Amino acid sequence: MKPLSDGTIPPEGSVYWIALKQFDEAADILNLDDGMRDLLRHPKRELTVTFPVCMDDDSLRMFTGYRVHHNTVRGPTKGGIRYHPIVNLDEIRALAMWMTWKCAVVNIPYGGAKGGVIVDPDELSIHELQRLTRRFATEISILMGPEGDIPAPDVNTNQQTMAWIMDTYSMHKGYSVPAVVTGKPIEIGGSMGRLSATGRGVMITTREALKMRGKTFSDVTVAVQGFGNVGSVAAEIMSAEGATIVAVSDASGGIANPKGLDITALKSHVVQNKLLKGFPGGDAITNEELLTYKCDVLAPCALENQITSKIADRVQASFVAEGANGPTTPEADIILEDKGVFIVPDILCNAGGVTSSYFEWVQDLQSFFWTVEEIDERLERILVEAFHQVMAGAEKRKVGKRMAAQCLGIKRVADATTARGIYP
């Protein structure tokens, strides 16, 4: 792999190494010249902040956070903020790059960004989380703005997190700026349909994949890794469409029942107990066992690098719908492709979230809001069109679905760069 401009190469197998490897392969297929490759390989800007937070016992604790803008050629940057103990700069760089291609695949006018704080939010009280969020928002506010960079929820962040960020930014401005973040509560400029949009997008793109092999949801069983904002909604909507959900999991492990799980009862159990563990409607399994469970559709909706080469050989699903970002390693990709598994790649499969965020941003800028029916119809139209553009690209270039999606997104960004030219 070619070194970055600082002479470094990310550790082999890391998410940033994977993102760059995917880009390099797509750049070869697209025959990009060396200058364009270098431009698109590198983040436009990066911010690392270290900041203090007063804890409930009056002690002071230091935290580190990041905000990375990968590319701004097609519009302001868009990307989530995650709170997790293993957050690091390379991970944020990779996720920001994938966001650039994702926005371009669904053809919305954004570039990619990502942010995060190294923290286990379960260790903090709600008041400590609010103070951390407001201080982090202040630290990165030099990059934020409705015309420049619009954060959104991600792992371990939610509507409330976005409300705190929006309020903090607005207090600094002296007036309300709802368009500075998306994924907010409805009461302060959030959009109908936003909470379910990523999971709905997983359903829509999976449905289109099933159609290509002559199937419907009524014909298939589904296993979902991750039962958070994405996985729980995807499981619920696929179940409503006729699928049999045979296994789900979260950080506490998984639950499986070959006859099908009651998703409504599962969601109620999680609301009461915070975790899936202890749900009486199935047998306990591990997260790894879920990935290799007998099913037709496997939907990894958790974190990166879940389906590895060691696991791919044992995957029994015929379809993999990537609700998470980067859940499959390059080595596992090859194994799954060789087995004939239909992969719906992450930058297509989970693009419902950023598409709905775009809708929210547009509504906030106009101060004019749409019905949930209008939003779902527009989301459906954009994702179905993007799905078939990716499939057409795979057929035309004789490449896998992931590389077809990468090529579609990268080419759109490269074309926009060429059209704008290089300043000065």
The residues carrying an active-site annotation are: 114
Report the half-sphere exposure of 262 (CA within 13 A, side-chain side). Answer: 9
Helix (H/G/I), strand (E/B), else coil: 249: strand
How far is it, in rounded angstroms, from Cα 183 to Cα 186?
A: 9
Pairing assessment for the beta strands 60-69 and 111-118 based on DSSP bridges: antiparallel
Look up residue 138 and give its DSSP letter: H
Residue 418: other Cβ atoms inside 10 A: 11
In sequence order, which ranges of 69-174 are alpha helices (DSSP H)? 89-105, 126-140, 159-173
Which residues, other chains included, contact 419 with Cβ-Cβ below 8 Å and sequence gap of 6+?
A: none
Which two three-digit tokens encode residue 378?
């527009």
| Pick from 156, 164, 163: nearest CA to 183 | 163
CB-CB contact of 281 with 265 (8 Å):
yes
Tell me whether strands 319-321 and 297-300 are parallel, antiparallel or unpaired: parallel
* Dihedral angle sign, alpha carbons of residues 398, 200, 265, 272: positive
